[in-house]
Structure 1
Amino acid sequence: MKAFYIEKAHATMRYNDFPGRDQPIVFIHGLGCAGSFDYPQVAAQAELQKHRCIIVDLLGAGYSDKPPYFSYTVSAHAEYLADFVAALHLHDFVLFGHSLGGAIAIALAGKCRERVNRLL
């Protein structure tokens, strides 16, 4: 897994970045699960193997840090994820959110609409 340090939260978010030449897809998991546990099987599907698949563990989930003073709101997650997609220089990418991840994906798309091609 890779790591992205979130300055404002003094915490590290972990993520998987599976290579591919086609349009990148960023996966945001829902409450009670983690991208590292639930989405590698999705990224391995034949239909997605040509895509770069980036699977995050939100703060508080999976292998990411669980900072006690982070607010864990939709907008707080979207804020550090906007910094994350900028740091990865992502453009024209697909944003996939499930359950709580869907609400975070909507907020994130609003923060970086010039970078997002599609929201699922």
Structure 2
Amino acid sequence: MSIQAAPVLPGGKSVRYLDFGVGPQTLVFIHGYGASSIPYFAEFCAQPSLHPVRKILIDLPGFGLSDRPESYGYGFEDFAQCVAEVLEHAGVEQFDLLGHSMGGAVAILLAARLAGRLRKLILVEPNLDATGSEVVRCAREGLTGSEGVQRRRELEALAGEFWSSTLRLASAEALQGAAASFATPRNPKLTDLLNGITAPRLVLLGEESEFDRLPLQRLQADVRIIDVARAGHNVMLDNPGEFADRTLSFLSYVP
């Protein structure tokens, strides 16, 4: 088990990712806004049936353990391109992909780019439209300048205890750039891209979350949608048992 550094950012700066497990299958994780992959997915990765699976937990630029270049876009498309370059650095060919929240939007963009290499796609509470939480809307107002410090405090208060612990690691540029990307209209829409992906697709939603379900109406019938009981937005943390059962059943790894 080791933290790797992929020098794929401007100025030779690096995206860092945890790479562990050896086997014929590879499962790639992309975290959400203001998050980091290791704390959000560590419990799931400890599942015995995942021991023979290679697991790659990526921290997006500006978040978690990754570097924070100032001259970088920090939009969803930038993140998708970056993850593609990280996978090249890691020597990954075929892979399964799991994205949470903002990471779900990034995962869709990446899956559309690398469709021929994607085996299965799992989206957990994915952002499918130009929406976002109150934290995202607050960040969109700006985190630099004289009011930036106070607004960062507001973000952490809105986020609550667990989310704020990773949110405070993120750079102002990453939070602002990603917040702006939430509001960027896309043509084709993320739902259209998702419909066009031929790999099996699963969407997991927290039964108790405030997820905007309207975009789901645009998805094709073969996109499987499952509600996880006793879970909010952070499905993998709120109900780790059912999350693991649903995810592993879909992935159907053979020892």
TM-score norm. by structure 2 comes to: 0.45
1:80 corresponds in structure 2 to 82
Check the 8 A contact 1:9/1:70 in 2, yes or no: no
Within 2, Cα distance between the matches of 1:4 and 1:77?
14
Check the 8 A contact 1:36/1:63 in 2, yes or no: no
Letter in 2 for 1:35: S
1:40-55 matches, within 5 Å, as 40-55=42-57
2:100 corresponds in structure 1 to 98
How many percent identity over aligned positions? 34
SS of the counterpart of 2:69? coil
Within 1, Cα distance between the matches of 2:6 and 2:101?
23
1:118 corresponds in structure 2 to 120
Within 2, Cα distance between the matches of 1:40 and 1:92?
22
1:60 corresponds in structure 2 to 62
Q: Deviations over 1:78-99 (max 9, x none)?
A: 1111122123232221010000
Shift >4 Å, 4+ stretches:
none
| CA RMSD, Structure 1 to Structure 2 (Å) | 1.5
Check the 8 A contact 2:30/2:98 in 1, yes or no: yes
Aligned pair count? 120
- Where do 5+ consecutive residues of structure 2 fail to align? 123-255
SS of the counterpart of 1:6? coil
Check the 8 A contact 1:37/1:62 in 2, yes or no: no
Letter in 1 for 2:104: G
| Larger displacement relative to structure 2 (94-103 or 16-25) | 16-25
2:7 corresponds in structure 1 to 5
The counterpart of 1:38, out of the listed 14, 37, 40, is 40
1:21 corresponds in structure 2 to 23
Within 1, Cα distance between the matches of 2:110 and 2:87?
10
- Where do 5+ consecutive residues of structure 1 fail to align? none
Letter in 2 for 1:53: K
Check the 8 A contact 2:10/2:71 in 1, yes or no: no
Residues 42 and 9 of structure 1: CA distance in aligned 2, closer, same or farther (over 3 Å): farther
| Larger displacement relative to structure 2 (78-87 or 2-11) | 2-11
Within 2, Cα distance between the matches of 1:70 and 1:9?
10
SS of the counterpart of 2:71? coil
Structure with a larger share of its residues in helix: 2
Within 2, Cα distance between the matches of 1:82 and 1:116?
12
Larger radius of gyration: 2
Greater RCO structure (CA 8 Å; 6+ sep): 1
Structure with a larger share of its residues in strand: 1
Within 2, Cα distance between the matches of 1:96 and 1:3?
20
Q: Deviations over 1:1-28 (max 9, x none)?
A: 1100114464210100011214100000
